[in-house]
């Protein structure tokens, strides 16, 4: 079975500061890992994904995440926060291979203040 | 531009009513999903469909049913709405078995009074 834990339901950073959103997963098979973002009054959009290959993946809007198998983590980072990054972020996992469905974490709401 | 359209942004219904939530995608995707989103719980999968007339239960199917008569349309049905079904409902679609990218609608905020 798969599960996702996002540490911190709310994170607040200053504009220009590092953004770090934490995600740990459990999976009985090699996972596919995803980060989605939800802006106010919108559906979710894919930020980035890890399936196979390079463990550091880059996404849209300057975000990146690193798959660390030994730590079962897939933390999301951005070097310099922008006001427009304020949103809710969801980590998700699915098993690789064959038909699958995504399991989402509880979400982390990111606030960016001037 | 790809699109997943949910028929209503806000709905208010009474306890015991039958409720239909409609979702249409224009990307010819095989797979469609219904999630509910609640604060602190993230997204939980209610039902999904990987083909016309095919459906599978997700993690929380109780009190819900679905219909997929056409490839582009996936309906969520609350047979007898209850107050604990007050939630944000999100529809999504994806192509292929790996579901490597889900496209989401904007959501329907359902209030059951």
Report residue B46 as tokens: 């209610």
Residue A21 above 60 pLDDT?
yes
CA distance A9 to chain B (A): 7
Confidence (pLDDT) at A100 = 60
Residue A101 and residue B98: Cβ atoms within 8 Å? no
Q: Assign A14 a pLDDT band (cuts: 50, 70, 90).
A: very high
Confidence (pLDDT) at B112 = 97
- Rounded Cα distance between B64 and B77, Å, is 6
Q: Assign B1 a pLDDT band (cuts: 50, 70, 90).
A: low
Chain B within 8 Å of A26 (Cβ-Cβ)? no
Residue-wise pLDDT for A53-104, tens only, equals 888 999 999 999 999 999 999 999 999 999 999 999 999 988 765 456 788 9
Q: What average pLDDT does this structure show over A48-55?
A: 88
Report residue A78 as tokens: 């951005």
Residue B98 and residue A32: Cβ atoms within 8 Å? yes
Q: What is the largest CA-CA distance in chain B?
A: 39
Task: Compute the radius of gyration of chain B from its Cα atoms.
Answer: 13
Chain A within 8 Å of B92 (Cβ-Cβ)? yes
Residue-wise pLDDT for B4-25, tens only, equals 999 899 999 999 999 999 999 9
Confidence (pLDDT) at A3 = 86
Q: Which residues of B25-53 are buried (b: 16+ CB within 10 A; e: fewer)?
A: beeebbbbbbbbbeeeebbbbbbbbbeee
Nearest to B48 among A9, A101, A103 (CB): A101
Confidence (pLDDT) at A96 = 67
Return the beta strands (E) in A3-107 as ranges: 3-7, 10-14, 19-26, 31-38, 44-50, 56-58, 64-68, 73-78, 87-95, 103-104
Residue A51 and residue B100: Cβ atoms within 8 Å? yes
CA distance B102 to chain A (A): 7
For chain B, what is the mean pLDDT?
92
For chain A, what is the mean pLDDT?
91
Residue-wise pLDDT for B48-95, tens only, equals 998 898 999 988 999 999 999 999 999 999 999 999 999 999 999 988
Chain A residues whose beta carbon lies within 8 Å of the beta carbon of residue B101 = 46, 49
Q: Assign A111 a pLDDT band (cuts: 50, 70, 90).
A: very high
Chain A within 8 Å of B89 (Cβ-Cβ)? no
Confidence (pLDDT) at B100 = 72
Chain A residues whose beta carbon lies within 8 Å of the beta carbon of residue B4 = 43
Chain B within 8 Å of A25 (Cβ-Cβ)? no
- Disruptive mutation site among B57, B59, B102 for chain A (greatest number of A CBs within 10 Å): B102
Which chain B residue has the Cα nearest residue A52? B100
Share of chain B above pLDDT 90, in %: 76
Provide the 3-class DSSP secondary structure of residue B51. coil
């Amino acid at each position: 079975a798969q599960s996702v834990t996002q540490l911190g339901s709310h994170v607040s950073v200053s504009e220009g500061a590092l953004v770090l959103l934490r995600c740990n997963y459990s999976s009985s098979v090699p996972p596919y890992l995803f980060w989605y973002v939800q802006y106010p009054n919108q559906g979710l959009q894919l930020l980035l994904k890890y399936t196979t290959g390079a463990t550091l993946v880059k996404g849209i809007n300057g975000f990146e995440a690193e798959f660390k198998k030994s730590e079962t983590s897939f933390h999301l980072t951005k070097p310099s926060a922008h006001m427009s990054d304020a949103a809710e972020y969801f980590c998700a996992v699915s098993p690789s291979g064959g038909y699958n469905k995504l399991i989402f974490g509880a979400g982390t709401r990111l606030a960016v203040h001037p | 531009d790809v699109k997943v359209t949910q028929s209503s942004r806000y709905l208010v219904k009474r306890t015991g009513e039958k409720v239909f939530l409609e979702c249409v995608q224009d990307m010819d995707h095989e797979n469609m999903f219904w999630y509910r989103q609640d604060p602190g719980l993230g997204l939980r999968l209610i039902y999904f469909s990987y083909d016309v007339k095919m459906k599978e239960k997700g993690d929380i199917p109780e009190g819900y049913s679905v219909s997929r008569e056409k490839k582009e349309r996936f309906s969520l049905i609350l047979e007898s709405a209850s107050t604990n079904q007050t939630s944000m409902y999100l529809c999504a679609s994806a192509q292929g078995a790996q579901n490597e990218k889900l496209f989401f609608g904007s959501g329907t905020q359902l209030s059951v009074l």
